[in-house]
Amino acid sequence: MTGVGAAKGMAIGKAVIQYEIPEIIARKCLDPAMEVGKLEQALQTSEQQLDNLIATQKADPRGEADIFVAHKMFFSDPDLLEKIKEKILVEQVTAEWAVKAVFGDYMEIFSAMGNTYMQERVVDLKDVAERIIRNILGKPSIDYNGIAAESILIVKELTPSIMASIPKDKIQGIIMEEGGLTSHTIILANLFEIPTIIRAGSLSNIHNGDEVLVNGDTGEFFVNPEKKVNTEFREKMAVLIAHKKALRSFVGQASHSKDGIKVEIACNIGEPEDVAIVKQNDGEAIGLYRSEFLYMNRLAPPTEEEQFSAYAKVLKDMQGKKVIIRTLDVGGDKALDYLKITTEENPFLGYRAIRYCLEHPEIFKTQLRALLRASIYGQLLIMIPMISGVEEVRNVKAILLELKKEMQAKSIPFAADIKFGIMIEVPAAAIISDILAKEVDFFSIGTNDLIQYTIAVDRMNSKVARLYSAYHPAVLRLIYQVVQNAHQAGIWVGMCGAAAGESSLVPLWLGMGVDEFSVTPSSVLEVRALLTELNSKYWRQQVADILASASSEEVMEKLKELKAKDARARAND
Ligand code: PEP
Ligand code: MG
């Protein structure tokens, strides 16, 4: 069977299914007493699950036991539980509907209280209701504590926040029925090096415990395969492991083209602990720390202190090397219940990132203050996402200046020369990059979003996924324009979207003059190895020809031909 390979690598393990539950609608039941029995059983199971979660989370230094302790409190509310039973018996409805309806009423009451604490409890109520309903239906959530060490997760689609919390040491591979190639879930799968396949179609014929083979490079997967397929797969996997081992010879080497043009290979990370993976892969800097992951899987935004310790840890651990921390990029596919960004028709075009931050100074200033305070521990660069116009840049600079003055007045130290940059991920910003370049110290091109906004193709929508392409000539022309404008203004330009690490495009980026490649840590050595084979002068001469292509397909063809030519020329050197 085949889907789309979204995170590279191969894996073998036992299937663990995340069951979908149907939409719960108001339905009469035949036997109310039996429904009450189902409810009582489900409540008991749910409480047991929460006890187990609390115990394991308490044992984990990064655990979040408090969340589950809060969830358990609802089980000691006799009023709530009585109301559910009463609803089943009086209205003769199913247990799952009674839970949904009664919890729904509570959620409305809590939301209306206008009190932050009570509003935060709405998220808890939603989670608890889902847990009980899943147990009534016999489709419980996966018990990640209890699963085997070599598991393959089978799921319709994973949200970034669930992805951030799965046990990375146990999940060897993931297959999803749906999913977007540059969704934040996939970005995390790459970071954690979990081979992942998306858009695999219906997976209902896979059962818990089936043997599953995942090839994240090709998108192929096999369920309980015959011996021959199994053997061939294991042989391929051994070759892949050997290749990875061979790449280790590039550890400690400088990153440059064959003709000596130096570039920087930095890494994208999601949390402070990821610095360890960066170091293992010899990343030269942090080109993008997506700070929003610090805001996920919790009930309220992180405090200034929490943020300060996270940022300071990354800066200290990177020992003076460049660390670009991107300010909160919330919205789009990264919804946070407690920020109350209501459902939008077009979330990626809506209340996102800097647009949200500039309207919520209390949240934004807390983050900037934490960043400034942490800056004394290393080489911090601050980067702003989703910039679409010069006013946003100037507004952020003014806020930063104001905060610096406040801190100076209070004798709170911060680094003297914190570089300030922006992401170029909206076509408007790319088009006026000559103007923006005069305002900032650096650019980082976010191809994931730049592609979606340029081609008008939602990066999450499977139905239009075939249109999403980093090879589209319109995208490439914009990128070249940005690189030229940056260099003309004397600033450097990096690239931190997934295309930065795409082997077939790396020669083009080198030819265009991209100064920094920020990639998922597992790609550092691959990109470094590739660069040492490329002649920058040759690729610079090919840029105009590639940009004259009529379509993505033509670009791909040209890149292939030119690569073969470059290789032949090298062979004759
Ligand atoms: C991008 O858009 O390319 C990017 C790096 O940001 P994110 O993927 O987090 O939106
Ligand atoms: Mg982006």
Name residues whose C-beta falls within 8 Å of residue 54's C-beta, 6 or more positions apart in sequence.
Answer: 65, 68, 69, 72
Which atom of ligand 1 is the closest one to the Cα of 268?
5
**pLDDT per position as a tens digit, 496-506:** 999 999 999 99
Please answer whether residues 198 and 178 qualify as being in contact, where contact means their C-beta atoms are separated by less than 8 angstroms: yes
Which atom of ligand 1 is the closest one to the Cα of 498?
3
Which atom of ligand 1 is the closest one to the Cα of 187?
8
Distances in Å between the alpha carbon of 521 and those of 89, 302, 534, 567? 57, 26, 21, 27
- Give the closest ligand to the alpha carbon of residue 387: 2
Residue bearing tokens 């110290």: 441
CA of 157 to the centre of ligand 2 (A): 20
CA of 385 to the centre of ligand 2 (A): 7
Is 319's pLDDT higher than 70? yes
Write the DSSP symbol of residue 23: P
Q: What is the mean pLDDT of residues 104-133?
A: 81
Residue nearest to atom 3 of ligand 1 (CA): 446
Is 519's pLDDT higher than 90? yes
The phi and psi torsions of 303 (rounded to 5 degrees) equal -75, 170
Please give the pLDDT value at position 114. 67
Closest Cα partner for 525 from 248, 191, 238, 243? 248
Please give the pLDDT value at position 199. 93
Q: 496, 502, 520, 523: which to mutate for ligand 1, most atoms within 8 A of CB?
A: 496
| Separation between Cα atoms, residue 368 and residue 308, nearest integer Å | 10
Q: Which residues line ligand 1 (CB under 6 A)?
A: 187, 288, 290, 329, 425, 446-449, 496-497
Distance of CA 476 to the CA centre of its chain: 24
Please answer whether residues 324 and 418 qualify as being in contact, where contact means their C-beta atoms are separated by less than 8 angstroms: no
Q: 333, 449, 514: which to mutate for ligand 1, most atoms within 8 A of CB?
A: 449
Residue bearing tokens 């709170």: 412
The phi and psi torsions of 161 (rounded to 5 degrees) equal -70, -35
Residue nearest to atom 6 of ligand 1 (CA): 446
> How would you classify the pairing of strands 419-424 and 442-445?
parallel
Which atom of ligand 1 is the closest one to the Cα of 444?
5
Q: 182, 505, 519: which to mutate for ligand 1, most atoms within 8 A of CB?
A: 182
CA of 520 to the centre of ligand 2 (A): 15
Write the DSSP symbol of residue 142: P
Q: For the whole prediction, is pTM greater than 0.85?
A: no
**pLDDT per position as a tens digit, 443-476:** 999 999 999 999 999 988 888 888 999 999 999 9
Which atom of ligand 1 is the closest one to the Cα of 445?
3
Sequence letter at residue 177 = E
CA of 332 to the centre of ligand 2 (A): 9
Concatenate the DSSP letters of all residues of 495-562 into one string: E-SGGGG-TTTHHHHHHHT--EEEE-GGGHHHHHHHHTT--HHHHHHHHHHHHT-SSHHHHHHHHHHH
Is 29's pLDDT higher than 60? yes
Which atom of ligand 1 is the closest one to the Cα of 499?
3
Please give the pLDDT value at position 59. 75
Is 507's pLDDT higher than 60? yes
Catalytic residues: 184, 496
Residue bearing tokens 């209501």: 342
Instruction: Enter the tokens of residue 43.
Output: 């409540």
Q: 181, 185, 186, 187: which to mutate for ligand 1, most atoms within 8 A of CB?
A: 187
Residue bearing tokens 């292509």: 549
Please give the pLDDT value at position 163. 81
Name residues whose C-beta falls within 8 Å of residue 76's C-beta, 6 or more positions apart in sequence.
Answer: none
Which atom of ligand 1 is the closest one to the Cα of 425?
2
**pLDDT per position as a tens digit, 274-284:** 999 999 999 99
CA of 47 to the centre of ligand 2 (A): 39
| Separation between Cα atoms, residue 537 and residue 513, nearest integer Å | 10
Residue nearest to atom 7 of ligand 1 (CA): 448
Q: How many CB atoms lie within 10 A of CB 167?
A: 13
- Give the closest ligand to the alpha carbon of residue 445: 1
Confidence band for 167, pLDDT divided at 50, 70 and 90: confident
Vertex 131: Cα angle to 126 and 133 (nearest 5): 95
Residue nearest to atom 8 of ligand 1 (CA): 448
Helix segments in 7-94, DSSP class H: 32-59, 65-73, 78-91
CA of 125 to the centre of ligand 1 (A): 32
- What's the order of all strands across the beta sheet hosting 196-198? 4-7, 196-198, 171-176, 151-155, 10-17, 211-215, 221-223
CA of 497 to the centre of ligand 2 (A): 7
Strand, helix or coil for residue 14? strand
- Give the closest ligand to the alpha carbon of residue 182: 1
Instruction: Enter the tokens of residue 22.
Output: 């149907």
| Separation between Cα atoms, residue 423 and residue 443, nearest integer Å | 6
CA of 386 to the centre of ligand 2 (A): 7
H or E element that contains 565? helix 552-572
Question: Which residue pairs from 478-481 have beta carbons closer than 8 angstroms and sit at least 24 positions apart in sequence?
Answer: 478/427, 478/430, 478/431, 478/450, 478/454, 479/430, 479/445, 479/447, 479/450, 479/512, 480/512, 480/543, 480/547, 481/430, 481/431, 481/433
Is 534's pLDDT higher than 80? yes
CA of 547 to the centre of ligand 2 (A): 23
Distances in Å between the alpha carbon of 369 and those of 38, 71, 247, 402? 51, 32, 40, 10
Is 62's pLDDT higher than 60? no
Distance of CA 472 to the CA centre of its chain: 23
- Give the closest ligand to the alpha carbon of residue 518: 1
Please give the pLDDT value at position 527. 98
Instruction: Enter the tokens of residue 368.
Output: 């900037």
| Separation between Cα atoms, residue 350 and residue 344, nearest integer Å | 7
Instruction: Enter the tokens of residue 531.
Output: 């660069």
**pLDDT per position as a tens digit, 556-571:** 999 999 998 888 877 7
Percent above pLDDT 70 for the chain: 98
- Give the closest ligand to the alpha carbon of residue 186: 1
Q: How many residues does the chain have?
A: 573
